[in-house]
Chains A and B, each alone.
Chain A
Amino acid sequence: MSAGIIAAPRAAQPPRGLALAFAFAAALLLVFIVLPLANLYASQSGAALARVAAMAEVRSAIGLSLAAALATTACAALLAIPLAYLLARSAFPGKPVVEAIVDLPLAVPHTVVGIALLFVFGRTGIVGAPLEQWTGIKFWGTAAGIVVAMLYVSVPYAVNAARVGLEGVDDRLEKVARTLGAGRWAVFFRITLPLASRGILTGLALTFARSVSEFGAVIVLTYYPMTAPVKIYDLFLQSGLGDSSAMAALFLAITLSLFIASRYLFRERREPGPTPAR
């Protein structure tokens, strides 16, 4: 999103020296990000990948990671969009405090998140105890625990990206729709939401990516059933670097292709316009 804002004015070409220096720094950064992952793949043998892919526990861990991250993303969408809307559209006392609270999970170590969530959602926690008593839902050693841990660490991305998307919506379009007789809910669902969809979807893609890669908070709440990162750690401890890095490569291949596909999909609508009224 920010890339679009910077690129938009397309002002005079920057001086050559600056461009070169920046290009060098940029290339260095890209290499820094890509090299370790590329190296992880380069050091894999097809046989190791096949052996790991054939393990039922590995497959179920990857499946659980994807399913839990998807459920987390759905929860994030439901919870983050209303808050993002309020932050984008209204001024209210204490707004900076709310903004700081939204970013809080980014600053807390993930093991700390896990321990803190355990106190609240655990079997004797203020939320966990009544929930288990009334509904039977448990958060220790269950998929529900995984989703709660993922949601806590990833939801800031959903709120912040959705907020940027919503701020980009021209409120005059909403006012026009109102004058044409559309109710507030109809305007939100048929004008605002579609126009902000790119920001929202970007945020949800980041939420999914953060969720699927979460380890520290998840392992405190739910060691078993194992998500993919926990299983990779388990393999690292039990059977060494060979199997764990093979599973890491396999898992990365799946998540990265999902991530790249989502980027590609959301880029399609370059010029978002209001959906034609049906």
Chain B
Amino acid sequence: MTRYAHARRRIFPFCALALVLAGMPPAAAAPTATLTIFAAGTLAAPFRAIDDAFMREHPEVKIEAQFGGSVKMVKQVTELHRQADVVAVADYSVIPKYFFGRNGGKAYSDWYAGFATNAVTFVYTPRSRFADRIGAKNWYQLLSQPGVEIGRSNPDTDPSGYQTVQMLSLAERYYREPGLAERILANAPKTNMRDTETELIAALQSGQIDYLAIYRSDARQHKFRYLELPPQIDLGDAKYSGFYSQGVAHTANGTLTGKPIVYAVTIPFDAPQREWAVKYVQFLLGPKGRAVIEAKGFGAPARAMASDAAKMPAELRSMVVPWPKSP
């Protein structure tokens, strides 16, 4: 007993010291402003890097970022009435739909800027069937060969699922090969389908499937081999919006037509830290933000594409170009 008591007495000063140290303020100046960002889940990788870089430049700001499905993040603002300083979504059309106060609802914003693009592609491994001879010229012929196993996400529940089907529908027109989409999709039956395509990465790595339809950003982040598809069909270039709209996917939610995959950002009217939000978007659209976006495998247009530059904060207007051939 006495020995334990002695030991406890010896430990006590150390505990006290630890407590004092833990309670001490950090050496650097404490942040005075908190910037709240709601962003699409796919943007988690680039935004975390951009947030860190921004906070290093501005130690007085602390960024709290939340990631999730684009519609879910937008509804955090419109339905749960949570205040955000910056909102970034994976599908630009989500912002006008929920934020512009159409149909008499409350308006939360009146502009958006497309700052990053993505594209649909197929990833594969050196062990995949035809891995040694597949390329941009012959991919659609090889992927429709019987016995090739293709994974994809569910077009009824996941954007990447219906975007893949739209891309194949566009390929049919682009290569003038009727029946192409059907033949390729026959190699991607329901057994090869999940609610998110990233759930199938293990199946690709272990050789259960040969090809996986996935976003190019994921392909680059995971350092997979991927197919360079023509920009006319890969949904990666806003200037082909007109042609993209001819790509169709029939889903449980109706027939969906293709549109470019453009990530858009906005600042809600009631952003609590409006000044910092503008600085953050400046950083995001500027060279440092664009470098990170590209490093994480997304496309970063030379100038962000604005829905309506006149409505943007003055500091941002010079950083954008008008949306190409507004859809």
B199 CB, min distance to chain A CBs, angstroms: 8
**A224 contacts B by Cβ under 8 Å:** yes
Beta-carbon contact of A124 and B206 below 8 Å? yes
Question: Which residues of chain B have C-beta atoms less than 8 A from A194's C-beta?
Answer: none
Question: Which residues of chain A have C-beta atoms less than 8 A from B319's C-beta?
Answer: none
Question: Which residues of chain B have C-beta atoms less than 8 A from A238's C-beta?
Answer: 157, 195
Beta-carbon contact of B206 and A224 below 8 Å? no
A143 CB, min distance to chain B CBs, angstroms: 11
Given contacts A123-B149, A124-B127, 11 further A-B contacts (CB under 8 A): A118-B206, A122-B206, A122-B207, A124-B206, A124-B208, A141-B208, A224-B190, A224-B191, A237-B195, A238-B157, A238-B195
Name B193's closest neighbour in chain A (CB-CB). A224
**Contact code string B60-95 (vs A, CB < 8 Å = 1, else 0):** 000000000000000000000000000000000000
Task: Please give me the 10 A-B residue pairs with the lowest Cβ-Cβ distance, nearest first.
Answer: A141-B191, A124-B207, A140-B208, A224-B191, A123-B208, A123-B207, A122-B206, A224-B190, A122-B208, A118-B206
Question: Which residues of chain A have C-beta atoms less than 8 A from B203's C-beta?
Answer: 140
Number of B residues, CB within 8 Å of A: 13
Bound together, the chains give a CA A237 to CA B207 distance in angstroms of 27
Q: Would you give 11 A-B contacts (Cβ < 8 Å), ordered by A?
A: A122-B206, A123-B206, A123-B207, A123-B208, A124-B206, A124-B207, A141-B192, A142-B191, A224-B191, A225-B191, A237-B195
A185 CB, min distance to chain B CBs, angstroms: 42
Question: Which residues of chain A have C-beta atoms less than 8 A from B208's C-beta?
Answer: 118, 122-124, 140-141
**A259 contacts B by Cβ under 8 Å:** no
**A223 contacts B by Cβ under 8 Å:** yes
Interface of A is mostly: loop
**Contact code string A104-132 (vs B, CB < 8 Å = 1, else 0):** 00000000000000110011100000000
Measured CB to CB, the residues of A under 8 A from B are 118-119, 122-124, 140-142, 222-225, 237-238
B253 CB, min distance to chain A CBs, angstroms: 14
**Contact code string B4-27 (vs A, CB < 8 Å = 1, else 0):** 000000000000000000000000
Bound together, the chains give a CA A72 to CA B193 distance in angstroms of 26
Beta-carbon contact of A119 and B193 below 8 Å? no
**B274 contacts A by Cβ under 8 Å:** no
Question: Which residues of chain B have C-beta atoms less than 8 A from A123's C-beta?
Answer: 149, 206-208
Bound together, the chains give a CA A124 to CA B128 distance in angstroms of 10
Bound together, the chains give a CA A118 to CA B191 distance in angstroms of 15
Question: Which residues of chain B have C-beta atoms less than 8 A from A142's C-beta?
Answer: 191
Bound together, the chains give a CA A118 to CA B200 distance in angstroms of 13
Bound together, the chains give a CA A153 to CA B190 distance in angstroms of 26
Bound together, the chains give a CA A222 to CA B191 distance in angstroms of 8
**B194 contacts A by Cβ under 8 Å:** yes
Bound together, the chains give a CA A122 to CA B208 distance in angstroms of 6
Bound together, the chains give a CA A124 to CA B207 distance in angstroms of 6
Beta-carbon contact of B206 and A119 below 8 Å? yes
Name A220's closest neighbour in chain B (CB-CB). B202
Question: Which residues of chain B have C-beta atoms less than 8 A from A224's C-beta?
Answer: 190-191, 193
B161 CB, min distance to chain A CBs, angstroms: 14
Bound together, the chains give a CA A212 to CA B227 distance in angstroms of 42
Beta-carbon contact of A223 and B194 below 8 Å? yes
Question: Which residues of chain A have C-beta atoms less than 8 A from B149's C-beta?
Answer: 123
Bound together, the chains give a CA A107 to CA B214 distance in angstroms of 36
Bound together, the chains give a CA A224 to CA B189 distance in angstroms of 10
A116 CB, min distance to chain B CBs, angstroms: 11
B72 CB, min distance to chain A CBs, angstroms: 14
Name A139's closest neighbour in chain B (CB-CB). B208
**Contact code string B208-219 (vs A, CB < 8 Å = 1, else 0):** 100000000000
Question: Which residues of chain B have C-beta atoms less than 8 A from A237's C-beta?
Answer: 195
